[in-house]
Amino acid sequence: MHHSIDEIEDRLDRATNLLRQAKNVAVLTGAGISAESGVPTFRGGGGLWEGHPIEEVATPEGFARNPALVWRFYNMRREALRQVLPNPGHLALVALEQRLRDRFTLITQNVDGLHAIAGNQRLLEIHGRLSRVRCTSCEFSRDCPGESLPALPKCPDCGDLLRPDVVWFHEMLPQDIWRKAELAVTRCDCFLVVGTSAVVYPAAGLVQTARQHGASVIEFNLEQTPASALAHVSLFGPSGKTLPEVMQRLRT
């Protein structure tokens, strides 16, 4: 996507004006916002891991079939998170929350915990969190960021197998969190969709929901996605640059 400078300027101005006029803002982020922190995206590497389609290792069926393989996938991603830090895109969304306070809601599909580390409070992690584990049988759960876990971690209370506390494909999203996300989107008049390929549902459906409720939609991505057709403005470029750029203009 190559636009002339004044085309980019014009898009940035339009996005900034929509945000400036907004009473309530909701944001949906995906793996792209963490790419500049060094966290690999899902469909960047062709959506494969050790030759397995992600949808195969990130499902309850895959876990039942081969828990050691699935734990190897998640332990590798847990280890990788030790080196990563929020990037200017995350920090721009913290600044936006500080500006809007209770008129701001951040909905993320990401499980890397970087929005919480960056400082967002009004955060809905609709796909769970990599740092947290829970028991496959009892109520035990524990957030253990940075800890390396055994190949097949067991529950300290009942001895059964632990699992990562993330939402796998074909699993329901946490209902209370999902309901809050839907509510925030129906109430917003400006919806930012950042760094997501907009193919995973029900998360991707939030863009349509925002449009249906009359919100302006601003997309931040490197390339066109199914959300682009619903966006009033698409800002093509790394969100670590475009989000701070919009925040900068908002302040002037």
Give catalytic residues, as residue numbers. 127
Residue window 96-135: x/- pattern of binding to Zn ion, with contact defined by CB under 5 A: ---------------------------------------x
Q: How many helices (H) and strands (E) does the chain have?
A: 10, 11
Contact residue for ligand BV8 among 28, 35, 81, 93 (CB under 6 A) = 35
> Judged by CB under 6 A, how many residues of this single chain contact ligand BV8?
36
CB neighbour class for 181 (10 Å; exposed up to 12, middle 13-18, buried from 19): buried
Question: What residues have CB less than 8 Å from 167, skipping those under 6 apart?
Answer: 126, 127, 128, 173, 174
**Strand pairing class (162-166; 141-143):** unpaired
Taking the least distance from each CB to ligand BV8, the nearer of 78 and 122 is: 78
Taking the least distance from each CB to Zn ion, the nearer of 10 and 143 is: 143
The distance between the two most distant Cα atoms of the chain, rounded to a whole number of Å, is 62
CB of 251 to ligand BV8, least distance (A): 22
The residue type at 22: A
Question: What residues have CB less than 8 Å from 147, skipping those under 6 apart?
Answer: 78
Contact residue for ligand BV8 among 143, 147, 157, 171 (CB under 6 A) = 171
Alpha carbon separation from 103 to 78, 175, 180, 183 (Å, rounded): 32, 22, 13, 12
Taking the least distance from each CB to ligand BV8, the nearer of 216 and 225 is: 225
CB of 108 to ligand BV8, least distance (A): 8
- Is position 225 an interface residue for ligand BV8 (rule: CB under 6 A)? yes
Angstrom distance (rounded) from CA 251 to CA 20: 9
Contact residue for ligand BV8 among 70, 166, 218, 247 (CB under 6 A) = 166
Residue 216, contacted partner among Zn ion, ligand BV8, none, CB below 5-8 A by kind: none
Report which residue's Cβ sits closest to ligand BV8: 32
CB of 44 to ligand BV8, least distance (A): 5
> What tokens appear for 28 in the block?
């949906």
- Is position 153 an interface residue for ligand BV8 (rule: CB under 6 A)? no
Taking the least distance from each CB to ligand BV8, the nearer of 19 and 24 is: 19
